[in-house]
């Protein structure tokens, strides 16, 4: 599904367009940024606080990012900054909420689930 290609691209190439078969989508209604695989419809939501939406144009995604952050997780996080000042990307598959499975990109290895508020992730 080329997920690793997408994650490496987001980390290393913030000034260029998302590679095919992925498409970056900004949902105006919900304010969410997500990536859709054009061949199979697989979705990955982006909850990083700053998201490059087009060649150096950044979206302030702090509201969505704040929904997954809490004081408990901040004590467990070691941030990595690249040359653009953007955080490292982590992909998580969240299955803590009933029958819902959510794939999301976050900027920290431990975070709070946006639906049930439980702690998700691993210690660095």
Query: Which pLDDT value is given to residue 111?
Result: 67
Q: How far apart are CA 38 and CA 97, in angstroms?
A: 26
Q: Which residues of the chain have pLDDT under 50?
A: 72-83, 123-124
Contact 104, 67 (CB under 8 A): no
Query: Which pLDDT value is given to residue 89?
Result: 74
Q: How far apart are CA 50 and CA 58, in angstroms?
A: 6
- Which regions of 3-121 does DSSP assign to beta strands (E)? 22-27, 32-37, 43-46, 50-54, 57-60, 90-94, 102-106, 110-112, 119-121
Contact 119, 110 (CB under 8 A): yes
Query: Which pLDDT value is given to residue 104?
Result: 75
Query: Which pLDDT value is given to residue 6?
Result: 82
Query: Which pLDDT value is given to residue 85?
Result: 53
Query: Which pLDDT value is given to residue 86?
Result: 55
pLDDT in tens, 6-27: 878 877 776 677 888 889 888 8
Query: Which pLDDT value is given to residue 19?
Result: 82
What is Dmax (Cα atoms) for the chain?
A: 39
Query: Which pLDDT value is given to residue 26?
Result: 87
> Among all chains, which residue has been given the structure tokens 């590679």?
19
Name the CA radius of gyration of the chain, rounded. 14
């Amino acid at each position: 599904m080329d997920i690793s290609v997408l994650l490496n691209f987001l980390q290393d190439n913030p000034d260029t367009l998302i590679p095919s078969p992925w498409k970056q989508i900004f949902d105006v209604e919900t304010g969410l940024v997500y990536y859709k695989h054009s061949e199979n419809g697989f979705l990955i939501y982006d909850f990083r606080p700053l998201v490059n939406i087009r060649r150096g144009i950044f979206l302030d995604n702090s509201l969505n990012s704040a929904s997954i952050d809490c004081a408990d997780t901040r004590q467990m996080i070691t941030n990595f900054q690249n040359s653009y000042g953007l955080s490292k990307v982590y992909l998580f598959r969240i299955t803590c909420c009933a029958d819902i499975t959510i794939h999301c990109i976050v900027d920290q290895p431990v975070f709070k689930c946006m639906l049930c508020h439980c702690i998700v992730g691993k210690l660095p």
